[in-house]
């Protein structure tokens, strides 16, 4: 960009090398990406919730999710995302049965 170009060592930046403006990312750029992808309009912060929910549903340990989100404790993470857990109880019981009884135990029960 010439003499006005700034190097900040950023992966994502404005064309002149300066840091992205948070307001532009959230209001202008993010909305444009959603629209191009044919996705519904959501808040940028909803990505954080989706990230945590998907990880917990996939069985990622709550401590890992807590660290990724920057929560103070795994208990806080589980409290906030407890809506994800109800269906996981059945899955946990099935996994335990498989572990104790093997595949035949699951098929015969």
Do 37 and 49 fall within a single domain? no
Closest CA to 77 of 42, 51, 47, 96: 51
User: Which two tokens mark 91?
Assistant: 């899955």
Structural domain span for residue 80: 45-108
Global pTM exceeds 0.75: no
- What is the C-alpha to C-alpha distance for residues 15 and 100, in angstroms, rounded to an integer? 58
Please write the tens of the pLDDT for every residue from 41-85. 999 889 999 999 999 988 899 999 999 999 999 999 999 988 777
Calculate the alpha carbon distances from 80 to 6, 49, 54, 56 in Å.
Answer: 41, 10, 14, 12
21 with 60, same domain?
Answer: no
Same domain, 82 and 69: yes
On whether both 57 and 96 belong to a single domain, the answer is yes
User: 22 and 65 share a domain?
Assistant: no
Last residue of a domain, one of 43, 58, 73: 43
Higher pLDDT, 105 or 26: 26
Asked if residue 104 has pLDDT above 70, the reply is: no
Q: How many independent structural domains does the chain possess? A: 2
Band of residue 37 on the pLDDT scale cut at 50, 70, 90: very high
Are 49 and 95 in the same domain?
yes
| One domain for residues 51 and 101 | yes
Lowest mean per-residue pLDDT among 5-9, 20-24, 28-32: 5-9
When comparing pLDDT for 89 and 68, which is higher? 68
At 6 the pLDDT is 62
Residues 95 and 66 in one domain: yes
Question: What is the token pair recorded at 108?
Answer: 């015969």
Are 70 and 33 part of one and the same domain?
Answer: no
């Amino acid at each position: 960009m010439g003499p006005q170009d700034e190097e900040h060592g950023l992966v994502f930046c404005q064309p002149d090398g300066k840091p992205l403006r948070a307001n532009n990312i959230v209001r202008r750029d993010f909305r444009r990406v959603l629209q191009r992808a044919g996705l519904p309009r959501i808040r940028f912060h909803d990505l954080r919730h989706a990230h945590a929910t998907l990880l917990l549903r996939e069985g990622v340990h709550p401590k890992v999710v807590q660290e990724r989100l920057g929560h103070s404790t795994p208990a806080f993470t589980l409290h906030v995302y407890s809506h994800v857990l109800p269906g996981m109880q059945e899955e946990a019981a099935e996994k335990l049965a498989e572990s104790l009884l093997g595949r035949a135990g699951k098929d015969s029960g």
